[in-house]
Amino acid sequence: MKYIINLNGNLFLLIFLISMVHGISQNKKTKKPNFIIIFTDDQGYGDLSCFGSTIVKTPAIDGMAREGTKLTSFYVAAPLCSPSRAALMTGSYPKRVDMAYGSNFVVLLSADSKGLNPDEMTIAEVLKDAGYATGIFGKWHLGDQPDFLPTKQGFEEFFGIPYSHDIHPQHPNEKFNFPPLALMEGEKVIEMDPNADFLTKRITERAVGFIEKNKERPFFLYVPHPLPHKPLHVSPPFMETVDESIKDELKKEGEGVDYKTRDLLYPQAISEIDWSVGQILKTLKNLGLSENTFVVFTSDNGPAVGSAGPLRGGKGTTLEGGMREPTVMCWPGVIPAGSTNDELMTTMDLLPTFAKLAGGKLPQDRVLDGKDIFPTLLGNRKSPHNTFFYYKGNELSAVRMGEWKLHVERNKPEALYHLGSNIGESLNLLGQNDRVVKKLLDQIAKFEKEIRQNSRPAAYVGNPVALKK
């Protein structure tokens, strides 16, 4: 009898251990993934070495591509800062949320009365409601008044600047009379005119600290770097490779900022951003979080200084170079490693995709333009988008359907390109494909009617004031 009791005890122990291992395994499988979006400013399609650049070197981002996928038809919803960021945050075209244009300029400026409506449900709010820690470290640019700050849009932590770092008193356009640039912590200004040479470094340190602090819970980390927007700045270690003649010219800046000479720092600015990506990825690896973290690297619009590679156009245009972005997504063991995906996807898709993966709830009282692209990323499905619309401000400038792209001016055909055979938009086929043109014009008319019927207002405040410490 004693032997039987021991056997039963051992059986019980064995069953208990198996159930524990199974439980741990199941918990690992069902644990909510972390999400990181690294969003640069004014970086071109040709400004990653994994996208063919021989001018810039991006070993960390190239490593992401080896462990994940390159997206070669990934779009932002506008070719400028504020509207592009509004689309990312809301999963909607900027015109739908009345953020396609600033109050009196193409983007929001300092002490602007306009901002992203607090009633919008941002990607941060959806994930926060799903139990996520949320943090933004970098550039916001969706309103600098108290009602419009990131902390009013689902972010628990904010460290960075409220708009582009060129919105300062040294701006070369004399028509602007900008106040000093504010550096913020949460809703409080902690510094005025921070040294822009150290912005990338400081943002990176805070992003790493956020990961370390929230390693035991799911988190959403948004890192919108102010660079490589002009004027270009890098920290001292990245100045070591700069030609001495350039350094000598920069020493003559005095109280101003020599934008033209600083343009020559572009390779170094990209190198420091790549270093930043490497620091974030290394932190994930050291904490054992890599296999449970979905990382996205992309930019807000095309280049002002850099290269659009094979694409035509750049920042501010609805040509491919203005809105098709160099994008890498990585989730080791989940997203196919070393792959290239040419399906049409957009920044607007990140909100519904992350919500689905996190078990979050999307708002049901409004139209979203983004779609769940996770099956497309896995290679299991074609793009969920039948069409993509290119806006410049509030004007619809082009539409893509399949490989065809039609440029219009006030809804009248201007140029027709077949992107599959002519990615550089150099061969105008207008006049040779009337049926295609009619089909695309019909799509424009249908969408413009729909967006008029299902749009939402931005928000405004009275008597906006410049930020002060």
The pLDDT, as a whole number, for residue 12 is 42
State the average pLDDT over residues 29-44. Answer: 92
- The residue among 43, 104, 42 whose CA lies nearest residue 393 is 104
The pLDDT, as a whole number, for residue 313 is 98
For 42-78, the pLDDT digits (tens) are: 999 999 999 999 999 999 999 999 999 999 999 999 9
Residues 78, 464: Cα–Cα separation, whole Å = 26
For 283-316, the pLDDT digits (tens) are: 999 999 999 999 999 999 999 999 999 999 999 9
Structure-token match 């004027």, residue found: 231
Which residues, 6+ apart, have CB-to-CB distance to 299 below 8 Å? 39, 40, 41, 42, 43, 44, 76, 325, 326
pTM: 0.93
For 220-255, the pLDDT digits (tens) are: 999 999 999 999 999 999 999 999 999 999 999 877
Q: Provide the percentage of residues in the chain whose pLDDT is more than 70.
A: 94
For 199-226, the pLDDT digits (tens) are: 999 999 999 999 999 999 999 999 999 9
Would you say residue 441 has pLDDT above 90? yes
Catalytic residues: 81, 141
Would you say residue 25 has pLDDT above 70? no
Q: pLDDT-derived band of residue 174, with 50, 70 and 90 as boundaries?
A: confident
Would you say residue 448 has pLDDT above 90? yes
DSSP code string of 186-250: TTEEEEES--GGGHHHHHHHHHHHHHHHTTTS-EEEEEE--TTSSSP---HHHHTTS-HHHHHHH
- The residue among 212, 232, 336 whose CA lies nearest residue 280 is 212
Would you say residue 469 has pLDDT above 50? yes
Q: Structural domains in the chain?
A: 31-381 (3.40.720.10), 392-453 (3.30.1120.10)
For 314-328, the pLDDT digits (tens) are: 999 999 999 999 999
The pLDDT, as a whole number, for residue 23 is 39
For 329-385, the pLDDT digits (tens) are: 999 999 999 999 999 999 999 999 999 999 999 999 999 999 999 999 999 899 999
Q: pLDDT-derived band of residue 30, with 50, 70 and 90 as boundaries?
A: low
